[in-house]
Structure 1
Amino acid sequence: MSGLLRRLRGLPLRSRLALLVAVAVAAAVAAVAVTCWVITSRQLYSQLDNDLRHQVGTVKWNQVATIATTCDNSDTNLRSLPGPTIQVIYTDGRVCTSPGDAEIPVQSSDLDVAKGSLPNSLHTTDDADSQAMRVLTVPIADGNGNQLRDVAVSIASPTAEVTNPLTTLAWVLLLVGGIGVLGATAAGLWIARTGLRPVDKLTETVEHVARTEDLTVRIPVEGDDEIARLSASFNSMTAALAASRELQQQLIADAGHELRTPLTSMRTNIELLTRSEETGRAIPPDDRKALMASVKAQMTELAALIGDLQELSRTGLSGSDGPLKVVSLHETVRAALERARLRGPELKIVSELAPWYVRAEPAALERAIVNLLDNAVKFSPQHGTVEVRLMRGTLTVRDHGPGIPADELPYVFDRFWRSPSARALPGSGLGLSIVARTVESYGGEVGLAAADGGGTVATMRLPGAPTPPPELP
């Protein structure tokens, strides 16, 4: 059985479908044919038995007497009586059969009828000529209607009247069923080929994509059935993969461009220092100090850029390394404010924080808030004020800097995008992009807008989470 299943699994899908259709049709045809044959057989045998019962009623006493008186007469001129075979049975086992008919073997049930212990007997047996006969045995009455004792009469008809039509019917059912199964197999194969043609197209497309890595291929979607849905899903998948590849290539190109600037500057400064050592021409102390400060600044910028790229490339696009937890947003903002004050000690940072809890990864959430505050610190004027407010899950960070032009607002969260006016300031152009991806991964939203009276206001909204139970002392 297992070997047969393995062979079936090795067949093509269309062959398995055609075989399944053929087996199903064959089983249905066989069930219908057997049912039809059984019902017909019962009907024909029932009709034969009814005919025998009817013929028993037509048997006359003089016919029985004639059979009994000629039982030992070997005169071949005697003609057999018309109708079925009639046989007189005695309790001692003797029989007298209608002239010209073969003797029918006596059954015990026939003797019971002759003895009066059984009202009638109906059975099938072979006569002396090996012909199958249907036999009905009943008691017999004389001419005055008195039932005779120790004697019975049997009426028999050949079962060929039933078996011959049944044999013909069986051959007809077998022939018609065979033709039906073959037709169903051919139809199943045609239906399988027709139905699986879209699957073949999908398979060819997938193989083409796997072979050529061409993600621009699309499958035409026709209708709204399962195949159409599968094709639409495949098209969506390839479109997403193509977009992901394009974003990856763009990230690599942007990263290379951003890395080239600090590397070029570092190489230039290091070459100057190296040439000074090789030629023995000393660089003035002030210039040498400036070169070393520039190299250090470039290294710091390069390290920050690499760190931001690592944050941006983490799984889930949010930079989260662990499972989500219920985090107190107000405490996270308070910790980020301490770091922001260290980076802008000359600034005045005021805050109003109402309790709010969110579901997030603590380290990733704090990094996003720090980036948002760093942006405000970086663009705030010296001795300026940064206002931070958290109310009902909405965090606003307002600075009093030069602000962002309206035509640049749509691009502030793009990777590596930097305003032309901010090119000279430190940064990689990835901070706000990391903020946006982190907040969106937690189901929130973030945006920047021009503030009334000048400056920029950043707004971050995060959905709330159930308040965690207080810790036991």
Structure 2
Amino acid sequence: MRPAARFRALPLRSRLALLVTVAVALAVAAVAAVSWVMVRTQLREQLDRSLEATNVGAEVSRTLMQKYCLPPPQQDLQQIAGNLSATVQIVLPDGSHCWVAGPTALPVTKADKEIAAGKRGKTLQTVTTPEGVEMRVYTIPVVVPNTGEVFGGVSIAKPLADIDKPLSTLAWVLLLVCGVGAVGAGAAGLWVARAGLRPVDELTDAVEHIARTEDLTVRIPDAGDDEIARLSRSFNSMTAALASSQERQAQLIADAGHELRTPLTSLRTNIELLARSEETGRAIPPDDRRELLASVKAQMTELASLIGDLQELSRPDAGAGSPLQVVALHEIAGAALSRARLRGPELRFDSDLRPWYVRGEAAALERAVVNVLDNAVKFSPPGGTVAVTLRAGELTVRDHGPGIPAEDLPHVFERFWRSEPARALPGSGLGLSIVARTTARAGGSAELRAAADGGPGTEAVLRIPGAPTPPPSDLSVVPDQ
């Protein structure tokens, strides 16, 4: 397994702790390395400045003028160099040199010869003695005071061990600090991982509890504005939405069971009467038999309608994502009006349908308009008038029935809700719920209100955005947004 794959296989807490440890360890190591380099540079600069500050040139120049550079080194030169606490060596232009003071002689370099010959100025360099000791050497020319002539050069040197030993000690100290920092970073990483992932652990426990008990009332503390708090709030919102959906489903099942009980009870009673008549041989009077069969047929029709409405409402997002077509709302309303005339032949229908094109589903829109017209037919008195108008995207259906009390208007679009007068009439209480959902999917709204002219009856108003003329044919189908 590759290292990356092995790392991904670790638990999140271990990965976070490891990342924190590595990050802090690298930071400590980088700081230690930079500190060591800076100290080394400072010590080198101090050593160079101490060599450059050594004032030996004039005295050595006078001595050279008097005695030249002949071995063995003169006692007075040794005394001068002894006061310097450094290695001193005199270099002549031909490369010969005289050791003056110090633990060892210094090798003569090309730069030393050029300085002794007057070809270049002073220089700082690092050399290694025959004994293997690294020395920092400062070489300057020796000038005769009166003539200004360069007579030779003087090399002043100090061992680099003077700074290497402190640097070595510092390196061990920094290494120890890095080790302690890495261990501390590991402990801090574990603590950070444990503290930072505590809300995630709570979230995990809540999810496992919900999966085990199906209890959607569990809430996670979501104080704060960080990502974990946002995640907790999102989870709480999700569980609240699921609980609400579960409650609506339970309510839908309960309401559906209640609504189904009435037609099923009536069907069972009528069928039992017909069956008992066949079993006992006692014939039911023809008129009563026709009424029983008509009742069975009506109850079956009502049951089929109720089941269809339940199927429509059982899928809250039915049709979502499918393309919406540009359809002629006035033609849909005309087709629905034709069906309403068949259901209410004793009623008078006045219509004024002006062209209006909308984006929606033709079948769903027609069903919504039919539901509104069915209500108007159901509550209109015999010989009454139903007025249907479509103007600028507002479809209005006006009946002259008993009307709806003002306190009931806010509830008319709720599932299975039926007013007191309507409970004695056939219906499931789902028609207006379907109307509201269909118009909302088309981008519009539905409203039931008292008649605008103050007379008896109710006005159902469907407002759907659109245009009085159809768009170009290539735009007749648009995706649902």
Q: TM-score by structure 2 length? A: 0.86
- Which residue number in structure 2 is paired with residue 333 of structure 1? 333
- Which residue number in structure 1 is paired with residue 98 of structure 2? 96
Contact between 1:327 and 1:360, CA under 8 Å: does it hold in 2?
yes
The one-letter code of the counterpart of 1:34 is A
Deviation at 1:297, TM superposition (A): 1.9
Deviation at 1:321, TM superposition (A): 8.1
- Which residue number in structure 2 is paired with residue 447 of structure 1? 447
- 1:142-201 per-residue CA deviation (whole Å, 9 max, x = no partner) reads 46454346x433221111222222223323333334434443443343333333323322
Contact between 1:93 and 1:111, CA under 8 Å: does it hold in 2?
yes
Q: SS of 2:389's equivalent?
A: strand
Which of 127, 132, 137 is residue 130 of structure 1 equivalent to?
A: 132
Contact between 1:135 and 1:155, CA under 8 Å: does it hold in 2?
yes
The one-letter code of the counterpart of 2:129 is D
1:203-218 matches, cutoff 5 A: 203-218=204-219
Contact between 2:394 and 2:464, CA under 8 Å: does it hold in 1?
yes
- 1:351-409 per-residue CA deviation (whole Å, 9 max, x = no partner) reads 22344443322222221111111111111112211112233333221101122233433
Q: Distance in 2 between matches of 1:435 and 1:379?
A: 17
More displaced, 429-438 or 328-337?
A: 328-337
Does residue 193 of the first structure (1) align with residue 198 of the second (2)?
no
Deviation at 1:121, TM superposition (A): 4.0
- 1:198-250 per-residue CA deviation (whole Å, 9 max, x = no partner) reads 33222211221121110111223323443333323222221111111111111
Q: SS of 1:428's equivalent?
A: coil
1:305-324 matches, cutoff 5 A: 305-316=306-317, 322-324=322-324
Instruction: Evaluate the alpha carbon distance shift between residue 43 and residue 337 of structure 1 in structure 2; reply closer, same or farther with a 3 A threshold.
Output: same
1:422-433 matches, cutoff 5 A: 422-433=422-433
Q: Distance in 1 between matches of 2:216 and 2:397?
A: 42
1:164-175 matches, cutoff 5 A: 164-175=165-176
Unaligned segments of structure 2, at least 5 residues: 475-481
Deviation at 1:307, TM superposition (A): 1.0
Contact between 1:137 and 1:152, CA under 8 Å: does it hold in 2?
yes
Contact between 1:359 and 1:465, CA under 8 Å: does it hold in 2?
no
1:6-85 matches, cutoff 5 A: 6-55=5-54, 57-58=56-57, 60-62=60-62, 68-71=69-72, 81-82=81-82, 83=84, 84-85=86-87
Q: Distance in 1 between matches of 2:300 and 2:88?
A: 124
Contact between 1:67 and 1:98, CA under 8 Å: does it hold in 2?
no
How much is the aligned-residue C-alpha RMSD, in angstroms? 3.0
Contact between 1:448 and 1:459, CA under 8 Å: does it hold in 2?
yes
Q: SS of 2:2's equivalent?
A: helix
Q: Distance in 2 between matches of 1:282 and 1:63?
A: 158
Q: SS of 1:68's equivalent?
A: coil
The one-letter code of the counterpart of 1:37 is W
More displaced, 239-248 or 229-238?
A: 229-238
Deviation at 1:450, TM superposition (A): 2.8
Contact between 1:340 and 1:377, CA under 8 Å: does it hold in 2?
yes
Instruction: Evaluate the alpha carbon distance shift between residue 320 and residue 81 of structure 1 in structure 2; reply closer, same or farther with a 3 A threshold.
Output: closer
- Which residue number in structure 1 is paired with residue 349 of structure 2? 349
Deviation at 1:299, TM superposition (A): 1.9
Does residue 385 of the first structure (1) align with residue 404 of the second (2)?
no
Deviation at 1:21, TM superposition (A): 2.8
Q: Distance in 1 between matches of 2:7 and 2:468?
A: 55
Q: Distance in 1 between matches of 2:258 and 2:456?
A: 33
- Which residue number in structure 1 is paired with residue 157 of structure 2? 156
Instruction: Evaluate the alpha carbon distance shift between residue 471 and residue 140 of structure 1 in structure 2; reply closer, same or farther with a 3 A threshold.
Output: closer
Instruction: Evaluate the alpha carbon distance shift between residue 71 and residue 464 of structure 1 in structure 2; reply closer, same or farther with a 3 A threshold.
Output: farther
Q: Distance in 2 between matches of 1:156 and 1:281?
A: 139
Contact between 2:87 and 2:102, CA under 8 Å: does it hold in 1?
no
- 1:257-297 per-residue CA deviation (whole Å, 9 max, x = no partner) reads 22222223223333333344444444443333333322222
- Which residue number in structure 2 is paired with residue 365 of structure 1? 365
Contact between 1:314 and 1:320, CA under 8 Å: does it hold in 2?
no
Instruction: Evaluate the alpha carbon distance shift between residue 180 and residue 364 of structure 1 in structure 2; reply closer, same or farther with a 3 A threshold.
Output: same
Q: Distance in 2 between matches of 1:391 and 1:448?
A: 17
Q: Distance in 2 between matches of 1:46 and 1:428?
A: 98
Q: Distance in 2 between matches of 1:358 and 1:167?
A: 86
The one-letter code of the counterpart of 1:42 is T
- Which residue number in structure 1 is paired with residue 399 of structure 2? 399
Deviation at 1:55, TM superposition (A): 2.2
Q: Distance in 2 between matches of 1:380 and 1:178?
A: 92
- Which residue number in structure 1 is paired with residue 416 of structure 2? 416
The one-letter code of the counterpart of 1:416 is F
1:275-314 matches, cutoff 5 A: 275-314=276-315
Query: Percent of aligned positions with the same letter in both sequences?
Result: 62
Q: Distance in 1 between matches of 2:468 and 2:208?
A: 49
Q: Distance in 1 between matches of 2:162 and 2:304?
A: 104
More displaced, 451-460 or 22-31?
A: 22-31
More displaced, 323-332 or 126-135?
A: 323-332
Deviation at 1:431, TM superposition (A): 0.6
More displaced, 177-186 or 248-257?
A: 177-186
Deviation at 1:79, TM superposition (A): 7.1
Instruction: Evaluate the alpha carbon distance shift between residue 407 and residue 164 of structure 1 in structure 2; reply closer, same or farther with a 3 A threshold.
Output: same
Q: Distance in 2 between matches of 1:337 and 1:164?
A: 106
Q: SS of 2:142's equivalent?
A: strand
Q: SS of 1:157's equivalent?
A: strand
Instruction: Evaluate the alpha carbon distance shift between residue 67 and residue 271 of structure 1 in structure 2; reply closer, same or farther with a 3 A threshold.
Output: farther
Contact between 1:320 and 1:364, CA under 8 Å: does it hold in 2?
no
Contact between 1:320 and 1:361, CA under 8 Å: does it hold in 2?
no
The one-letter code of the counterpart of 1:13 is L
